[in-house]
Amino acid sequence: MKKILLSFAVACVSLAASAQGYVGGSVGIASSKTDGADAVTTYQFLPEIGVNLDQNWSIGTVVGWGKGNPVQYEGESRNYFKLAPYARYTFVRSKYVNAFVDGGFGYTHYNHAHQGPLAASINEWEAGLRPGLAVNLSPKVSFVTHIGFVGWKSVKADVSGAKANNVWGASLNGNDITFGVYYNF
């Protein structure tokens, strides 16, 4: 087992040393208020790092945290942690715009922040595809957007006897758009 882990570590270091990569991510913040209720502030901070394996393929991950969902009102906002590794295939490449699709899985853990029936922590798993575009502002800086999600999601409360809620489908609406900036090195 030690030999396998050591071999994997050496392969990762040599790959990272010979390949080009990117760092960046996305942020979001919103404040929502309904009649007679207190204002709810939601935010997310989702840094991202990746390595270009060749002209078309990259691997990377998003590791971040937040509270609630910055694009919709949530009266019961929860703090969360997110981990989402992916493989990226760039199928259109030009001087100014690249079109790609990220395929991967994600895990999000929502903390229990409230009393009563919503007091349980929640675990969310997903696997699927996220199409996107990168606008190359310069050779070193790219403006990146992801548009939607196609795949599977499962949500389950972290309590004994809880059942998972699963869904398969595609969501390409305006609530599934993210924007970010990458620094390419």
> Could you tell me the end-to-end alpha-carbon distance of the chain, in angstroms, rounded to an integer?
34
CATH class of 21-184: mainly beta
Task: For 87-140, write each residue's pLDDT tens digit.
Answer: 999 999 999 999 999 999 999 998 865 555 556 788 899 999 999 999 999 999
Task: For 168-179, write each residue's pLDDT tens digit.
Answer: 988 877 666 788
String of DSSP letters for 108-130: EEEPP-SSGGG-S-EEEEEEEEE
The pTM of the full predicted model, rounded to 2 decimals, is 0.78
Instruction: Decide: residue 68, CB within 10 A, 0-12 exposed, 13-18 middle, 19+ buried.
Output: buried
Task: For 31-56, write each residue's pLDDT tens digit.
Answer: 777 677 777 777 889 999 999 999 99
